[in-house]
Amino acid sequence: MNINLKTVTEGETKLMVPVEEKLSRKSTVFFNPKMELSRDISVAVAGLLKPHRVCDALAGCGARGIRMLNECGYGMDMTINDINPYAYKLIKKNAALNLKEKVTITNLDSNVLLGVDYEHGAERYDYVDIDPFGTPVRFIEPALRALNNNAILAVTATDTAPLCGTYPKACRRKYDAVSLKTDYYDESGLRILIAYLARLATKYNIGVTPLFSHSTLHYFRTYLQIHKIRSNRYVNEAIENVKYIQHCFNCFRREFRDLDELESFCECGEKYKTAGPLWAGDFADAKFCDKLGEKLSEKKEAIKLVELINLETDPGIRIPYYDVHKICKSSGISIPTMDKIMETLKENGFKAARTHFSGVGLRTDAPADKLVGVILGF
């Protein structure tokens, strides 16, 4: 089959990509130009952590893996894989176009590639990237087993509708979790994804630490550090960070709770709705965000994203964000500026920060009734 190709430039890398009018599962070779931000961050993460043995397991035309190898500037042992034979050929073209370094290009089911018997002497990976079209669930367990201690598992999920509560039955089926359509649906979706990954890891006595996670456009993305040696501490921390969230659609209250702490009714008298299990801990690490921001020195969009997420790492404001517009609409009042709301909250002894999830979202440790009271006071 002949594929119509065009040449594009991302970062410092030239890529031959398919000319596609509409992306779908039926695309001959998958390449999404809207994922450039995600690939920019992947290159920065690799440049920061310098993993030795790397696998781009679901590579499409090879954009992510080739950019990492081409732009990070050190001796990376890279494997780029895709089961699609046309993608395999295009990866070879893009590698020849850019790379002087040695690269391994394979045409396998990623689970076969990652499912090698690593207990018998084969070298594990320091970084595995899972970036499928749709849900990543069937690729995760082989990836976990194929990773070294302190390695990175990078995962993308584009099936945001089930995770965010639009299709809760699909979420139950794929992620063994209840999703809920709340005003912070994107945050709860990302937290359900991280909790799913953490829960799978604990089956193998593997702990995980989210270094950086974000919700952008149509996808969720997380970078987890893997702990396999002396992992009991990290496994226990993961278990403690997997909770449920109870949400009141009447008064906007939201609370993380363990299974044995679930309540039937909110303080306002309305019945609680419950979602989860989901990740109640940090979805990014502040120190890692600082270093990542420095690595992204020329990527303005990525830097802005990292800076916003860094503000969200304060453990005092882990409760999901509030949609200020929704609160104002329910109260029938005009919308005050976010800066005024944040200033008033801080004057009253509360923490407040913007969120990368929404331009009208606000994170705070103020109880819902206090936040509503501040907004109504303008």
pLDDT in tens, 234-262: 999 999 999 999 999 999 999 999 999 99
Q: Which domains does the chain have, with CATH numbers?
A: 5-315 (3.40.50.150), 321-376 (3.30.56.70)
Residue-level length of the chain? 378
d(CA 295, CA 287): 13
Query: In the prediction, which pLDDT does 164 show?
Result: 98
Query: In the prediction, which pLDDT does 35 show?
Result: 95
SS (H, E, C) the chain: CCCCEEEEEECCEEEEEECCCCCCCCCCCCCCHHHHHHHHHHHHHHHHHCCCEEEECCCCCCHHHHHHHHHCCCCCEEEEECCCHHHHHHHHHHHHHHCCCCEEEECCCHHHHHCCCHHHCCCCEEEEEECCCCCCHHHHHHHHHCEEEEEEEEEEECCHHHHHCCCHHHHHHHHCCECCCCCCHHHHHHHHHHHHHHHHHHHCCCEEEEEEEEEECCEEEEEEEEECCCCHHHHHHHHHHEEEEEECCCCCCEEEECHHHCCCECCCCCECEEEEEEECCCCCCHHHHHHHHHHCCCCHHHHHHHHHHHHCCCHHHCCCCEEHHHHHHHHCCCCCCHHHHHHHHHHCCCCEEEECCEEEEEEECCCHHHHHHHHHCC
d(CA 238, CA 248): 26
CA angle 277, 256, 197 (to 5 degrees): 30
Instruction: Using the predicted structure, report yes or no on whether residue 1 has a pLDDT greater than 60.
Output: no
Q: In terms of Cα–Cα distance, which of 190, 136, 139, 158 is closest to 35?
A: 158
User: pLDDT averaged over the chain?
Assistant: 93
Instruction: Give the pLDDT band of residue 140 (cuts 50, 70, 90).
Output: very high
d(CA 109, CA 115): 10
Low-confidence winner among 20-34, 230-244, 282-296 (lowest mean pLDDT): 20-34
Q: In terms of Cα–Cα distance, which of 56, 57, 54, 59 is closest to 32?
A: 59
Strands 53-56, 5-10: pairing kind: unpaired
Instruction: Using the predicted structure, report yes or no on whether residue 94 has a pLDDT greater than 90.
Output: yes
d(CA 279, CA 231): 18
Instruction: Using the predicted structure, report yes or no on whether residue 286 has a pLDDT greater than 70.
Output: yes
Instruction: Give the pLDDT band of residue 121 (cuts 50, 70, 90).
Output: low
Query: In the prediction, which pLDDT does 183 show?
Result: 95
**Tell me: the pLDDT tens digits for 294-324?**
999 888 999 999 999 999 999 899 999 999 9
Cis preceding linkage at 132, omega within 30: no
Query: In the prediction, which pLDDT does 231 show?
Result: 80
Q: In sequence order, what are the residues at sequence separation of 6 or more whose Cβ sits closer than 8 angstroms to the Cβ of residue 300?
A: none
Query: In the prediction, which pLDDT does 303 show?
Result: 97
d(CA 321, CA 309): 12
Query: In the prediction, which pLDDT does 29 show?
Result: 83
Q: Structure pTM?
A: 0.95
Question: What does the pLDDT average to over 194-202?
Answer: 98
Instruction: Using the predicted structure, report yes or no on whether residue 119 has a pLDDT greater than 90.
Output: no
Low-confidence winner among 107-116, 185-194, 304-313 (lowest mean pLDDT): 107-116
**pLDDT cut 90: percent of the chain above it:** 85
Question: What does the pLDDT average to over 147-168?
Answer: 97
Query: In the prediction, which pLDDT does 61 show?
Result: 94
Query: In the prediction, which pLDDT does 297 show?
Result: 82
d(CA 101, CA 337): 52
**Tell me: the pLDDT tens digits for 201-233?**
999 999 999 999 999 999 999 999 999 988 899
Q: In terms of Cα–Cα distance, which of 153, 143, 163, 147 is closest to 211?
A: 153
Q: In sequence order, what are the residues at sequence separation of 6 or more whose Cβ sits closer than 8 angstroms to the Cβ of residue 121?
A: none
